Structure 1
């Protein structure tokens, strides 16, 4: 297998045009390649500045999870820290987790941050939304988001080999008029549902609003976790 390491977006596009298979940490495909054979050409984005940046409002798609630190919002940092083992986090990438993984532990965090992905195609790099990114399995160049006033993340304990653990991600954003909105995303099984509600008047207002979204149709145990997370993240805003 010939692995290309482009240092510019143009070079990366040329690799894709030549049929190179995108590869991040290869944590999801290595076993399959060992069984079925390796591709002739592969391309990694780890040499692109756009794909390896870690900033307060953006994150590159080739960033390995263990590099995600307190430069980014709490919800995204804690989501990354919850993935697998330390060895996995030193090789798994943001793009691989969101686009390639069935669990997509970073997806709820990206949703509540209202993140916008920039994707790389053979002819251009362009901004899209998370729905298109997942549906078309684009090559993720970077994510950019709105910086929240506060955020939180919780992953429930789960037995190894059992159903995926429940994940609840929350973030509070300020609107142009100063109004506050709480966004939430819940992974229950392999599905992710979300909702948003005003929260200027506190947790009660937010929970009443969320009850009228898809979040309100979750099982009772999941709704209990949601209530706790909503109260926790809004309590952190008291006096602000």
Structure 2
């Protein structure tokens, strides 16, 4: 197998046009390739500058999970720190986790941040929403968002080999009118749902509004966790 390492978007486009299979850290596909056969050529974005950004409002798809640091909002940093083992986090990439993984541990955090995705195809790069990235399995270049006022992340304890643990990701954002709004994203099993509400009137009103979104259909244990996380993140935002 030939591994191609483009250093520009035009070179990456050419790799795609020539049939190179995108691969991140290969933590998810290596075993499948060993079983089913390796592709003739693969492409990694680890040398592409646009895919290696780490900042207050941006994260590249080729960034390794263990590289997620204090430059990122708390919700995204903590989400990355809980994926797998240390060995996995030193190999797995942001793009591989969001697009290639069935668990998509970073997806709730990205949704809570109202992140937009930049993707690449044979015609060039463009911005889209995360729902399209996940459903169509686009080649992700990176994520961008507006820095939140504050954010939080909760991942329930889970038995090894058991069902995916509950995840609740929260972020408070400042609107153009100066009022805050809250976005909550929850992974329950393999499904991820989210909701947004104004939160300047307090946690009880925010929770009542969130019950009218997709979050209202969650089971009681998940809704209890949402209540705890929303109450906590709004208390922190009041002091920000």
Alpha-carbon deviations, 1:200-240, whole Å to 9, x = none? 02211111111111111111111111000001101112244
Q: 1:74 corresponds to which residue?
A: 74
Q: 2:37 corresponds to which residue?
A: 37
Question: In structure 2, the residue corresponding to 1:236 is in which secondary structure?
Answer: helix
Give the Å deviation of 1:120.
Answer: 0.7
For the pair 1:62 / 2:99, whether they are aligned, the reply is no
Alpha-carbon deviations, 1:124-158, whole Å to 9, x = none? 11111111111110000111011110100000001
**What pairs with 1:81-96 in structure 2 (closer than 5 Å)?**
81-96=81-96
Q: 2:97 corresponds to which residue?
A: 97
Structure 2, unmatched stretches of 5+, are none
**What pairs with 1:126-137 in structure 2 (closer than 5 Å)?**
126-137=126-137
TM-score under structure 2 length normalisation: 0.98
**What pairs with 1:11-50 in structure 2 (closer than 5 Å)?**
11-50=11-50
Which stretches of structure 1, 4 residues or more, deviate above 4 A after TM superposition?
none
Alpha-carbon deviations, 1:44-78, whole Å to 9, x = none? 00001100110110000111100010101000000
Cα RMSD for the two superposed structures: 0.8
For the pair 1:188 / 2:188, whether they are aligned, the reply is yes
For the pair 1:142 / 2:111, whether they are aligned, the reply is no
Question: In structure 1, the residue corresponding to 2:184 is in which secondary structure?
Answer: strand
Q: 2:172 corresponds to which residue?
A: 172
Q: 1:213 corresponds to which residue?
A: 213
Give the whole-Å Cα distance in 1 for the aligned partners of 2:100 and 2:182: 28
**What pairs with 1:114-129 in structure 2 (closer than 5 Å)?**
114-129=114-129
Q: 2:229 corresponds to which residue?
A: 229
Give the Å deviation of 1:36.
Answer: 1.0
Give the stretch that moved more between structures: 39-48 or 195-204: 195-204
Structure 1, unmatched stretches of 5+, are none
